[in-house]
Structure 1
Amino acid sequence: MKTIFQATALALTSMTAIAITAAPAVAQTKSGIAVVDLEEAVVKSAAFTTAMTQMQTTYKPQLDQINTRRTAIEADLKTKNDALQAAYKAAGNKSTPAIETQFQALQQAQQNGQAELQRLSQPVQLARAYVEQQIVDKLDDAVKAATAKTKAEIVFKKAATESFGAGADITAAVVTELNTLVPSVGITPPAGWQPGRQQGAAAAPAPAAPAQAPKSR
């Protein structure tokens, strides 16, 4: 069978507000062993969810520009990909110098488009990193407070545990503590600010998969 390739469409994760979940009353762990999802605690905190909503408005021009360019880049890649497939078929499913040139042009267009989207998204990514950093700075204190209130003696990362009872999860308790320690955060990084330690990754453009050259039968 002939190999037909497709240029992967570039995608950029848009900022979406996450609904605030009401935290249940703090309960004590029965065994003294608890688990926590730190990333979940950060994104479910009131400060984070509010900041994401604010960013929808503050960074709307940048987000609109990103979406517009993404649509245009995807359309251009599709046109180039369709033309390349047609040329490949016309050549009897065999690679030729002309087809190789088209293929290289498609690859370059992919790379250029990805680089452009990454450049356009930098202000939004930096703002989100700034939001996360402000919350993460209080995360250790929040975990310690939640650990004390739930009388947990040992706390494991949820992702590292095989199984656990619902009563062992103190993530909601950590969210409650975060809401007290850092009720709100800024969404505009100071001049020259760069991300330090982050809890969780910021939303970034998904890397485009490289196009694959057509193969002869």
Structure 2
Amino acid sequence: MKTIFKAAALALTPMTAIALATAPAVAQSKTGIAVANLEQAVGTSTAYTTARTQMNTTYKAQIDAFNARKAAIDADLKAKGTTLQTAITAAGGKPTPALQTQYEQFQQQQQAYQAELQRLGQPIALANAYVEAQITAKLSDALKAAMTKAKVDLVLSPEATVSYQPGVDITAAVVTELNALVPSVGITPPAGWQPNQGGQGAATAPASAPANANQKPQSR
């Protein structure tokens, strides 16, 4: 009887050794890779879309003034550009001191108008930057939570991929996490607040205010 049990033990030994040797390989898993458009996630979050709607009301006077002035500036620059082109054509395309002066004046006018629009749009641009900063401050946490739930180890931006199946896109999952972490945000920056200020997340105010407050955030 002892011989039988000993034989059985010897017979099982190689199988156990093989099982132990292969266990680590079985435990290893492939790296889960996903794609996420973080700019889109911020722009479609509840906090962002709600804030932009509120901005259309709160900053309506500034938005209307900006748009009206921009329309007038565009019309003036178009007229001046046409006049300059006519003068160039009349000169047969040959540079002259008069044309050079006219061209420089046109450029100076463009720069002056751009500076004016930046000043007019600053309150709207600052409010928009403040909204984005509050949301992006939680973007990393939202992404990590979405990755954990999707069992993903690596996330790429759509621009970094050649092609991918829709199933690997976790942008919607990031939006869900953002909505939970940041259900709403303020649209009025505290006195003295500036973009990229510590504790408020990283956001950069646009060069000029949007024509309306429903545009999506700028690429980061």
Indicate the TM-score class for this superposition, using the shorter chain for normalisation. 0.7 to 0.9
| CA offset digits 1:148-188 (Å, max 9, x no partner) | 11122322233212222211111100100111111100001
Write 1 or 2 for the structure with the bigger share of helix: 2
- Please report how far the alpha carbon of residue 203 of structure 1 lies from its aligned counterpart in structure 2 after TM superposition: 4.3
Q: Is the 8 A contact 2:81 2:106 kept in 1?
A: yes
**Match of residue 198 from structure 1:** 202
The CA distance in 2 between the partners of 1:81 and 1:159, in whole Å, is 37
TM-score by length of 1: 0.74
**Match of residue 174 from structure 1:** 174
- Please report how far the alpha carbon of residue 93 of structure 1 lies from its aligned counterpart in structure 2 after TM superposition: 3.6
Q: Which amino acid aligns with 1:193?
A: W
- Please report how far the alpha carbon of residue 202 of structure 1 lies from its aligned counterpart in structure 2 after TM superposition: 5.0
The CA distance in 2 between the partners of 1:107 and 1:182, in whole Å, is 44
The percent of aligned pairs where both chains have the same amino acid is 61
- Please report how far the alpha carbon of residue 98 of structure 1 lies from its aligned counterpart in structure 2 after TM superposition: 2.0
Aligned-partner SS, 1:155: strand
Q: Is the 8 A contact 2:126 2:195 kept in 1?
A: yes
**Where do residues 6-155 of structure 1 align in structure 2 (5 Å cutoff)?**
32-155=32-155
Structure possessing the higher relative contact order (Cα contacts under 8 Å, 6 or more residues apart)? 1
> What is the CA RMSD across the aligned residues, in angstroms?
2.1
Aligned-partner SS, 1:178: helix
Aligned-partner SS, 2:34: strand
Q: Which amino acid aligns with 1:148?
A: T
1:100–1:150 Cα change, 3 Å? same
| CA offset digits 1:57-86 (Å, max 9, x no partner) | 111111111111111111221222222233
**Please, which moves more after superposition, 160-169 or 176-185?**
160-169
Number of residues of Structure 1 aligned to a counterpart in Structure 2: 176
- Please report how far the alpha carbon of residue 101 of structure 1 lies from its aligned counterpart in structure 2 after TM superposition: 1.7
Structure 2: 5+ residue runs without aligned partners?
1-29, 210-220
Aligned-partner SS, 2:156: strand
The CA distance in 2 between the partners of 1:44 and 1:164, in whole Å, is 21
| CA offset digits 1:14-55 (Å, max 9, x no partner) | xxxxxxxxxxxxxxxx97222211111111100001111111
The CA distance in 2 between the partners of 1:163 and 1:38, in whole Å, is 18
**Please, which moves more after superposition, 149-158 or 134-143?**
149-158
The CA distance in 1 between the partners of 2:105 and 2:130, in whole Å, is 37
Aligned-partner SS, 1:34: strand
The CA distance in 2 between the partners of 1:168 and 1:31, in whole Å, is 13
Larger Rg: 2
The CA distance in 2 between the partners of 1:59 and 1:168, in whole Å, is 39
Structure 1: 5+ residue runs without aligned partners?
1-29, 207-217
The CA distance in 1 between the partners of 2:124 and 2:142, in whole Å, is 27
1:101–1:178 Cα change, 3 Å? same
Q: Does 1:165 align with 2:169?
A: no
Q: Which amino acid aligns with 1:65?
A: A
